[in-house]
Structure 1
Amino acid sequence: MVSLSLFRFASLRARLWAFAMMGAARPSLARHPDLLFWKLCGSGSGEGFTPLPNTGVYAILAVWPGEDTARRQIETSPLWARYRRVAAEHWTLFLRPISARGEWSGRIPFDAADDSGAGPLAALTRATIRPRKMLRFWQRQPDIGRMIGANEDVLFKIGIGEVPWFQQVTVSVWPDEASMARFARASGPHAEAIRAVRAGHWFSEELYARFRIAGEAGAWEGRSPRIPMEVTP
Structure 2
Amino acid sequence: MQQVVSLSFYRFGSLGSRVWAFAMMGLARRAMARTSGIGFWKLCGSGTGEGFTPRPNFGVYAILATWPDEATALRETARGIFARYAVKSLEDWTVFMSPTSTRGEWAGVQPFIAQNTSSTGPIAALTRAKVKTGLLRSFWGRVPNISAVIGADPSVLFKLGIGEKPWLQQVTFSIWPDATAMNNFARTGPHAEAIKAVRADDWFSEELYARFALVSDRGTWGGASPLMTISDPKEPI
Shorter-chain-normalised TM-score: which range?
A: over 0.9
Deviation at 1:229, TM superposition (A): 2.8
Aligned to 2:52: 49
Task: Give the structure 2 partner of residue 33 of structure 1.
Answer: 36
Partner Cα separation in structure 2 for residue 225 and residue 147 of structure 1: 19
SS across alignment from 1:112: coil
Query: Within 2, Cα distance between the matches of 1:79 and 1:146?
Result: 34
- Alignment partners' CA distance in 1, 2:119 and 2:178: 10
Residues 72-111 of structure 1 show CA distances to partners (whole Å, capped at 9, x for unaligned) of: 1112x21111111100000000011000000000000000
Quote the Cα distance in structure 2 between the aligned partners of 1:189 and 1:232: 35
Q: Which amino acid aligns with 2:149?
A: M
Q: Residue 222 of structure 1 corresponds to which residue in structure 2?
A: 223
Superimposed CA distance per residue, residues 204-229 of structure 1 (whole angstroms, 9 cap, x where no aligned partner): 00000000111100000111353423
> Who is 1:166 aligned against?
168
The corresponding residue for 1:64 is 67
RMSD: 1.3
Equivalent position to 1:10, from 13, 25, 30: 13
Distance 1:154 1:69 in 2: 29
For residue 17 of structure 1, give the secondary structure of its aligned residue in structure 2.
helix
| TM-score (normalizing by structure 1) | 0.96
The answer to whether the Cα contact below 8 Å between 1:156 and 1:173 also exists between their aligned partners in 2 is yes
What's 1:132 paired with?
134
What secondary structure is seen at the aligned counterpart in 1 of 2:160?
A: strand
Q: C-alpha distance in 1, partners of 2:111/2:15?
A: 34
Q: Is the alpha carbon distance of 1:232 and 1:176 closer, same or farther for their aligned partners in structure 2, counting shifts above 3 Å?
A: farther
- Distance (whole Å) between structure 2 residues aligned to residue 18 and residue 190 of structure 1: 32
Rounded to whole Å, the distance in 1 between the matches of 2:57 and 2:186 is 26
Q: Percent identity?
A: 57
Partner of 2:150: 148
Distance in 1 of aligned mates of 2:20 and 2:157: 30
- Is residue 19 of structure 1 aligned with residue 22 of structure 2? yes
Q: TM-score, normalised by structure 2?
A: 0.94
Query: How far is the alpha carbon of 1:232 from its aligned partner?
Result: 6.7
Aligned AA (1:229): S
| In 2: Cα distance, 1:225 partner to 1:137 partner | 30
Alignment of 1:186-205 (within 5 A): 186=188, 188-205=189-206
Among 89, 102, 110, which residue is 1:108 paired with? 110
Mark the runs of 5 or more structure 2 residues left unpaired by the alignment: none
